Amino acid sequence: MSNEIIRGRHRAPGRHNPLNELKLLARESAQPAMKGAAVVAATGGLVASFAGSASAETVSNSGAVSANIANIGTAPQAAAAAAPAVVGPATTAAPAASSALATIGFTTQPQAVAATAKTPAKPRVIEDVKVKGERQAAAAKAKAAAERKAAAAKAAAQRKATAAKASRDLTRRSLTSSTSATKRTTNTSTPSASSGSRASRNWATAGQCTWGALSKWYQSEGYYPGGWTGNAMVWDTGAAAAGYTVSGTPRTRSILVMEPGVHGSSSVGHVAWVTGVSGGKVTIIEMNALAGAYNYNTRTLTDGPGMKYIYAP
């Protein structure tokens, strides 16, 4: 029995499907980047089968077959050259591997696609012009309000200072006017007064009659007399030595000096500020007497022995 050699690929109909084999290889490949190479390497010439179904070619020339059999083993290179390279229609070219893999949804550049997908888009900041303008307007409004508040506080402080100065000036003018008027109406003849030494502060003991008398002198004249010290009963001699005029004649705008025991004076004497003179009556304002320390009270006394007056110039 002779064996007939039939050229071509031999597949039993219905048992092998090239498309199914390609899908199976692509699905079982572990790395997407190697799918194309794995499919092509494993399947060999299966890609070429997409050009058409494989079939065995019937040998029509038995002489040619015999010649090929005779050349087996003696001229392998020539036999290989005589054998057909691809099974199928000779006029149809095999599709490219990339086109064949694309038919089953496979891409040959997965890394590039993944890199493109992972690159985040840069955020785009859109400036809200309306909101920006509103914020700028609010800031300008707050700044203006702060400036108005500061200006109002400064103006209030200036008004307060002006009012305090006006009050001091009014008090001084009132005291000066009242004592000057009393002097003109009640004193027909007043000795001339000389100016003595001055002090920069109230040098007497706070709360005592001496401290109160110096404070009233300052309110009337605008300065403190000075140049002497000691208890109230020696103020007349001390003021005279400091350059002030001291007299036994009552006069407004003067300090009354009383010896101990005169009109209830203590053992160290007593002093007061004279606010009015009417005949032999002398009106005084005094501290640390009827109202106690640090407090003023007013009395009207009768002029007599043991009473001297230190004149303000």
What is the domain-level CATH number for residue 262? 3.90.1720.10
114 with 204, same domain: the answer is: no
- List Cβ neighbours of 230 (8 Å cut-off, separation of 6 or more): 238
- Does residue 203 lie within any of the structural domains? yes
The answer to whether 207 and 282 are in contact (CB under 8 A) is no
Q: Is residue 178 part of a domain?
A: no
Domain contains 245: yes
The 10 Å Cβ neighbour count of residue 228 is: 21
Domain final residue pick, 83, 102, 118: 118
- Number of domains composing the chain: 2
CA distance 123 to 131: 20
Three-state DSSP class for 292?
coil
How large is the average pLDDT for residues 237-255?
95
Provide the phi-psi class of 243: left if phi over 0, else alpha when psi is between -120 and 50, else beta: left
Tell me which of 52, 87, 118 is where a domain ends: 118
In a domain, 234, yes or no: yes
Share of the chain above pLDDT 90, in %: 43
Residue at which a domain ends, from 97, 118, 139: 118
- pLDDT at residue 241 greater than cutoff 60: yes
Q: Average per-residue pLDDT in the chain?
A: 75
User: Per the domain annotation, does 241 fall within a domain?
Assistant: yes
Give a yes or no: residue 211 inside a domain.
yes
The rounded distance, in Å, linking the Cα atoms of 90 and 113 is: 37
Full domain range(s) for residue 42? 18-118
Could you report the per-residue pLDDT of 38-75, keeping only the tens digit for each? 555 555 544 444 444 444 444 444 444 444 444 444 44
Q: How far apart are CA 272 and CA 211, in angstroms?
A: 10
Is there a domain that residue 212 lies in? yes
Maximum Cα–Cα distance for the chain, whole Å?
184
Q: Does one domain contain both 205 and 298?
A: yes
The neighbour count for residue 86, using CB atoms within 10 Å, is: 14
Confidence (pTM)? 0.43
Please check whether residue 273 is in contact with residue 251, taking contact to mean a CB–CB distance below 8 angstroms: no
φ and ψ at 106, to 5 degrees? Answer: -110, 140
CB-side neighbour CA atoms (13 Å) of 181: 6
- The pair of three-digit structure tokens given for residue 63, joined into one six-digit string: 């002489």
107-160 pLDDT per residue, tens: 555 555 555 566 777 777 777 888 888 889 999 999 999 999 999 999 999 888
Q: Is residue 174 in a domain?
A: no
The rounded distance, in Å, linking the Cα atoms of 284 and 71 is: 164
More confident residue, 33 or 148: 148
Element (H, E) at 217: helix 209-221
Query: Are the CB atoms for 211 and 229 separated by under 8 Å?
Result: no
